[in-house]
Structure 1
Amino acid sequence: MILDIYKDALEYSAKDWKKLVILGVICLFSFLLLPAFLITGYNYRVINTAVHGVINGRDPLPDFDDLISMFIDGVKVAIIQVLYLLVPVILFLVFALISSQIGGAASSAIMIIGCIITFVAFVIAELMVQMGICHMAYNEGAFSKAFAISELKEVIDEIGWFECIATYLGLIIITLVISFVVAAIIGIIFTAFGVSGAVLGVNPSGIFLLGAFINMAVTLFIVGPYLSIFNSRSTGLLYTMQI
């Protein structure tokens, strides 16, 4: 089932390259902060489509319409992420404070224990974030549903904690592999051009700079948006495993 989710999400994310570029343009201006909420809002739409769909369905990529609504959804998603991830952050700070007051070997031991507990809390918080966003989308955008802890636990129990964690680990690996492979291919091509130019007596620095620029552009306008949609689609489909 997990492999089916990946297969669906990989194909789904490549359905409309124009929308990938549009999302990439928004990413370009995300440093202004406001466009960043449009990105999270669009990813929420991808999740919303997934939780109301099926694996290997014919769902289209969401449109870039009603930007105000998309912006509001993005803000809601950001708030959910911040509130859940505050828990492991606070835990870490508490252990760090205690450790700083003790000193010696006991201080190191407390920090090691604190890091382990913080890591576990972070994994759980991240699961709650993703399932909370999906649960909100499934319940017609009801913000409170993202924090319905008992309901979210039931969802994760139904899917399976191992399946959830394994799916997210797989998403991380796939994301890293695709990013690395694309960057490596472009790098190899322009390195070959640069070396060939150097052999012919041409300064290769311009070729290398062009390669770096193209690599950045491809990552920003195609690979980044593609992986963003891929992860959102996969998360939404994972949620449907318990429905």
Structure 2
Amino acid sequence: MILDIYKDSLEYSAKDWKTLVILGIICFFSFLLLPVFLITGYNYRVINNAVHGVINGRDPLPDFEDLISMFIDGVKVVIVQILYLLVPIIIFFIFALIAGQVSNVAGLAIMIIGCILTFVAFVVVELMIQIGLCHMAYNDGAFSKAFAISEIKEAIDEIGWFECIATLLGLIVITWVIFTVVSMVIGIIFTVFGVSTAVLGIDPSAIFLFGVMLNSLVAMFLVGPYLSIFNSRSIGLLYTMQI
């Protein structure tokens, strides 16, 4: 089932390359901060389509319409993420504060325990964030549903904690592999061109520079948006396993 989710999401994310470019343009202006909420809002729409769809269905990519609504959804998503992430952050600082009040050896032991608990809390919280956003989308965008802990836990129990964590880990691996492979392919192509021109006695620095620029543009305008849709679609479909 998890492989079916990945297959569906990989195909779904490549349905419309114009959408990827539009997302890339929005991402380019993300240093202004406000476009970040449009990106998260669009990914939320992808999740919304997924939780109301089926694996290997014919769901279309969301349209770029009603940008105000998309922006508001993006703000809600960011708030959900921040509030959940406060949990592992607070845990870490509590242990850091305690460790600072005792001897070096005891302090080190407390910090090690604190880091382990922080990591565990982060994994659980990240899972709660993802399924919580799906639960919010499934319930017509009701913000409170993103924090309905008992309902979210029940959904995770139905899907299976192992399946959920394995899916998230798989998404991390696939994302890393795609980014790495694309970067390596572009890098190898321009390295070959650069070496060839160097052999001919031509300065290859311009070719290498162009290769770096092209790599960055491809990552921003194609690969990055593609993977953000892929991840959002995968999480949404994962949620449907318990419906």
Q: State the TM-score, normalized to the length of structure 2.
A: 1.00
Give the secondary structure class of the aligned counterpart of 1:101. Answer: coil
Partner residue, 2:205 = 205
The whole-number CA distance in structure 2 between the counterparts of 1:125 and 1:86 is 9
Which residue of structure 1 lines up, in the alignment, with residue 131 of structure 2? 131
CA drift at 1:182: 0.0
Determine helix, strand or coil for the equivalent of 2:20. helix
Distance 2:118 2:61 in 1: 36
Compute the RMSD of aligned alpha carbons. Answer: 0.4
Partner of 2:12: 12
Distance 2:197 2:18 in 1: 34
Is residue 113 from structure 1 mapped to residue 120 from structure 2 by the alignment?
no
Q: Equivalences for 1:13-162 in 2 at 5 Å?
A: 13-162=13-162
Q: TM-score normalized by structure 1?
A: 1.00
Q: How does 1:209-224 map to 2 (within 5 A)?
A: 209-224=209-224
Deviations 1:179-221 (A, max 9, x none): 0000000000000000000000000100000000000000000
Report the residue type matching 2:116 in the other structure. I
CA distance in 1, matches of 2:103, 2:66: 56
Tell me how far apart the structure 2 counterparts of residues 169 and 140 of structure 1 sit (CA, whole Å).
28
- Structure 2 SS opposite 1:102: coil
**How far apart in 2 are the matches of 1:104 and 1:28?**
46
Point out where structure 2 has 5 or more consecutive residues left out of the alignment.
none
Residue type matched to 1:216 in 2?
S
Task: For 1:141 and 1:103, locate their aligned partners in 2 and report how far apart those are by CA, in whole Å.
Answer: 49
**Structure 2 CA distance for aligned equivalents of residues 104 and 8 of structure 1:** 52
Residue 104 of structure 1: CA displacement? Answer: 1.5
User: What is the CA–CA distance in structure 2 between the aligned matches of 1:191 and 1:61, rounded to whole Å?
Assistant: 36
In structure 1, distance between residues paired with 2:163 and 2:85 = 21
Q: CA deviation at 1:226?
A: 0.1
Segments of 4+ in structure 1 off by > 6 A? none
Q: Which amino acid in 1 is paired with 2:206?
A: G
State the Cα distance separating 1:116 from its structure 2 match.
Answer: 0.6
Identical amino acids, percent of aligned pairs: 78
* Equivalent residue runs for 1:160-239 within 5 Å: 160-239=160-239
Q: Distance between the aligned counterparts of 1:160 and 1:117, measured in 2?
A: 22
Separation in 2, partners of 1:237, 1:76: 21
Q: Secondary structure at the match of 1:72?
A: helix
Shift of 1:103: 2.6
